[in-house]
Amino acid sequence: MPGNTFGTMFRVTTWGESHGPALGAVVDGCPPGLTLTAEDINQELAWRRSRDTRVSTSRREPDQVEIMSGVFEGHTTGTPISLAIYNRDVDSRAYDPLKGLFRPGHADYTYWHKYGIRDPRGGGRASGRETVARVAAGAVAKKILDQQGIIVLAYTLALGGIRAQKLDFDEIFNNPLFCPDPEAVVLILQRLQEVKGAGDSVGGVVEIRARGCQAGLGEPVFAKLDAMLAGALMGIGAVKGVEIGSGFAAADMLGSENNDSLTPDGFLSNNAGGILGGISNGDEIVVRVAVKPISSIESEQQTITVDGKVTTLSVKGRHDVSAIPRIVPVCTAMVRLVLADMLLQQKAIR
């Protein structure tokens, strides 16, 4: 099954290249009767844009979605919702020198081997820009979650080796890093400047929480909720690890420490991250992803040409020093897509 469709009952198909005319998503299976406007989607797309030049460079004009189908008089009709985001501020010239070589850390080499052809302009389909369609689709999924009172929140837990020391969720949207710790923000911004100056890049950790989610979501044994979340998040470019609840720390724990005791008022702890046996347990769902440092760096790197000749590379042009914070709303979107799909699937059986 070609890989550009996600989900079963709430089903998203995305398309588009970084430097093509547009990118988009077709959302199929959205229940009828939900209110949906372009503005609902544009708000989510705006989060994905950088808001601070210290953090990332960016196309100048904000992304604007066009709803091409599936909505009538402001309500979803149950038919597929086609969303398109046109590429405006495109300049492919910067990529010409990159056409004949494989950039380290990028998908150039693998697309070439997989397809025997690749669109080198801005990374083509492998560009981070692909995620704009995910975020647009996630905004539709949000409408379903809103009805159930489910809130998905993502934030920067660590960046450039600096970790948030407190989780003040009210602070997340008050800084350009989506970071819940204002003091960490100061240190991280300083670190980003240094790294940028050195022509290098950094990685970090994003944490995502879903609140208000009923017990019972997830389809054992292969489409468990944790399995779907892991697949959804690991499929975002730059993500190299996913963990749920206590995650890798659980590997060093005792059963008596890691088990969450049940009481009539709920669980006494949440090492499970809200998921037991692959099914939501009604507690907060907690997921973390490891984000690798962005691959495009100005520092000179060794690589080869398409013809297998040794060469060096120093990437100039527009590129961020980290995939974080742009990746934060993408994580939110993917978790929303999973939860919306699982909600509809659970409705089908009970």
Subset of 247-286 contacting a second copy (CB under 8 A): 247-264, 268, 271-273, 275-282
Q: Select 175 or 280, whichever has its Cβ closest to a second copy.
A: 280
Q: Does 242 bind a second copy (CB under 8 A)?
A: yes
Exposure letters 128-145 (e unless 16+ CB within 10 A, then b): bbbbbbbbbbbbbbbbbb
Tell me the C-alpha to C-alpha distance, in Å, between residue 243 and each of 153, 248, 273, 274, 290: 16, 7, 9, 12, 9
Return d(Cα 101, Cα 307) in angstroms, integer: 8
Among positions 327-346, residues that touch a second copy (CB under 8 A) are: 344-346
Is residue 134 within 8 Å of 142, Cβ to Cβ? Answer: no
Binder of a second copy out of 180, 204, 325, 329 (CB under 8 A): 204
Q: Select 145 or 294, whichever has its Cβ closest to a second copy.
A: 294
Return d(Cα 103, Cα 106) in angstroms, integer: 6
Among positions 5-34, residues that touch a second copy (CB under 8 A) are: 5-6, 8-9, 11, 13-17, 20-24, 26, 28-29, 31-33
2, exposed or middle or buried, with CB in 10 Å at 0-12, 13-18, 19+? exposed
Sole residue written with tokens 């970790």: 163
Q: Does 38 bind a second copy (CB under 8 A)?
A: no
Binder of a second copy out of 60, 89, 93, 349 (CB under 8 A): 349
3-state secondary structure of 330: helix
What is the smallest separation between the CB atom of 181 and a second copy, expressed in angstroms? Answer: 16
Output DSSP code: residue 314. -
Q: Does 42 bind a second copy (CB under 8 A)?
A: no
Is residue 276 within 8 Å of 226, Cβ to Cβ? Answer: no
Q: Select 174 or 314, whichever has its Cβ closest to a second copy.
A: 314
Return d(Cα 162, Cα 53) in angstroms, integer: 20
Record the tokens describing residue 332, joined without a space.
């939110």
Output DSSP code: residue 120. -
Tell me the C-alpha to C-alpha distance, in Å, between residue 205 and each of 131, 159, 184, 305: 18, 6, 13, 33
Among positions 103-142, residues that touch a second copy (CB under 8 A) are: 104-107, 109-111, 113-119, 121, 124-126, 130
Q: Select 170 or 254, whichever has its Cβ closest to a second copy.
A: 254
Among positions 177-196, residues that touch a second copy (CB under 8 A) are: 195
What is the smallest separation between the CB atom of 105 and a second copy, expressed in angstroms? Answer: 4
The end-to-end CA distance of the chain, in Å, is 29
Q: Select 133 or 174, whichever has its Cβ closest to a second copy.
A: 133
Q: Does 94 bind a second copy (CB under 8 A)?
A: no
Partnered with residue 236 across adjacent β-strands are none
Q: Does 197 bind a second copy (CB under 8 A)?
A: no
Site string for a second copy, 211-240 (x = CB under 8 A): ---xxxxxxxxxxx-xxxxxxxxxx-x-xx
Q: Name the amino acid, one letter, at 22.
A: A
What is the smallest separation between the CB atom of 177 and a second copy, expressed in angstroms? Answer: 14
Q: Does 98 bind a second copy (CB under 8 A)?
A: no
What is the smallest separation between the CB atom of 331 and a second copy, expressed in angstroms? Answer: 14
Is residue 32 within 8 Å of 100, Cβ to Cβ? Answer: no
Return d(Cα 338, Cα 6) in angstroms, integer: 9
Among positions 49-78, residues that touch a second copy (CB under 8 A) are: 66, 68-70, 72, 75, 77-78
Q: Does 156 bind a second copy (CB under 8 A)?
A: no
Binder of a second copy out of 56, 175, 201, 332 (CB under 8 A): 201
Binder of a second copy out of 54, 176, 200, 318 (CB under 8 A): 200
Q: Does 97 bind a second copy (CB under 8 A)?
A: no
Q: Does 314 bind a second copy (CB under 8 A)?
A: no
Q: How many residues bind a second copy (CB under 8 A)?
A: 150
